[in-house]
Structure 1
Amino acid sequence: MEKQRLLVVVRHAKAEQFAPSDVERVLSARGREDGRALGAWLGANGVVPDVAYVSYAARTRETWDVVAAGAGWGLAPQLDGNLYGTDESGVLELVHSTPDEAATVVVIGHNPTMAMLVQLLDDGEGEATGAAELASFPTGAAAVFTLEGSWSDVVPMGCRLRAFHVGRG
């Protein structure tokens, strides 16, 4: 029997509106609070990542830092430049490259990709199905999916949405 895996899809927390460039936008004070609250919720729900893929943008890196602090994680994330501008297929390619020994993966990226990915993966049978409405994936949100099999088995409508949560500090 294949082991059950967790895939956690996270949209970065609330960011400042202005910076010299979009990639340099940092979290607002509210975003830092919300990220810590999201991390506390993930930690309380037993989520402990083996691998974390994080966009290289300042707001996603900072989201990782505050979520990890809130959850008590010590894992160093893998910063990925492609997560900044990729689509759902690009995220799936990244997930497919995950080592088989990893049981839990966290991906922190941007909308509209994260929202579309959540809709794409959901098999419609999970206890949280419907909690993340189409085109509604706010900042600081996390979708926790379970799946059977290997990371290369992650396909559209192939994951069960176990939980959906928006961190608010």
Structure 2
Amino acid sequence: MSRLVVMRHAKAEQAGPTDFDRPLAPRGHRDAADAGAWFARQGLVPDHALVSAALRTRETWESVAEGASWTLEPDLDRSLYAAGPETALDLIRLVPDSVSTLVVIGHNPTMASLAQLLDDGDADAELTQQLFSGYPTSAAAVFEHDGPWTDLREGGARLVAFHVGRE
């Protein structure tokens, strides 16, 4: 059984030199660290991370990893910045099958759409309600998937947890 975390970046500043270069707000760093601490309490330790190359997603990863005490170096992917949910799913399908726990950190509306696209509808009603009630900054959906990443399809993963990092 593989685990997949689909996370939206933490709260970012409203302005930056470009949208790609917008940093996290101080609250974003705190919220991402809170999410990391939650991952640690869940015993979630990724062996691969796919992170948009934008500044706010890189900084989200750094704060999450610090909060969780992870030392993994992420795979920074520039295409994830502008990817739609289908493209993001294609990027996940390229992950080696040796990866058992994958964290993906990107942008909305893609991350919310991807999480909803993956959901098989078999989760607890409360979890499903949380998933479909909005995907604020620092939101993370945790899925289980049985099979290789190349076989991951729409409706092909079971939602097992949902958390919004808030300090």
Residue equivalent to 1:163: 161
How far is 1:92 from its partner?
1.0
Q: 2: distance between equivalents of 1:42 and 1:90?
A: 26
Q: Does 1:131 align with 2:148?
A: no
Residue equivalent to 1:104: 101
How far is 1:129 from its partner?
2.0
Percent of counterpart pairs with the same letter? 53
Equivalent AA in structure 1 for residue 140 of structure 2: A
Q: 2: distance between equivalents of 1:98 and 1:118?
A: 17
Q: What residue ranges of structure 2 are gaps of 5+ in the alignment?
A: none
How far is 1:43 from its partner?
1.0
Residue equivalent to 1:82: 79
TM-score by length of 1: 0.96
Q: Secondary structure at the residue paired with 2:128?
A: coil
Q: CA RMSD in A?
A: 0.8
Residue equivalent to 1:151: 149
Q: 2: distance between equivalents of 1:130 and 1:162?
A: 13
How far is 1:126 from its partner?
1.4
Q: Secondary structure at the residue paired with 2:129?
A: coil
TM-score by length of 2: 0.97
How far is 1:152 from its partner?
1.0
Q: Secondary structure at the residue paired with 1:24?
A: coil
Residue equivalent to 1:23: 20
Deviation string, structure 1 residues 1-49 (Cα, Å, up to 9, x no partner): xxx0000000000000011100110000100000000000011101111
Q: What residue ranges of structure 1 are gaps of 5+ in the alignment?
A: none
How far is 1:130 from its partner?
2.2
Q: Secondary structure at the residue paired with 1:129?
A: helix
Residue equivalent to 1:115: 112
How far is 1:133 from its partner?
1.4
Runs of 4+ in 1 over 4 A off after TM superposition: none
Deviation string, structure 1 residues 56-98 (Cα, Å, up to 9, x no partner): 1000000000000001100000000000001111111111111
Equivalent AA in structure 2 for residue 40 of structure 1: A
Residue equivalent to 1:36: 33
* Count of residues paired in the alignment: 165
Q: How does 1:46-85 map to 2 (within 5 A)?
A: 46-85=43-82
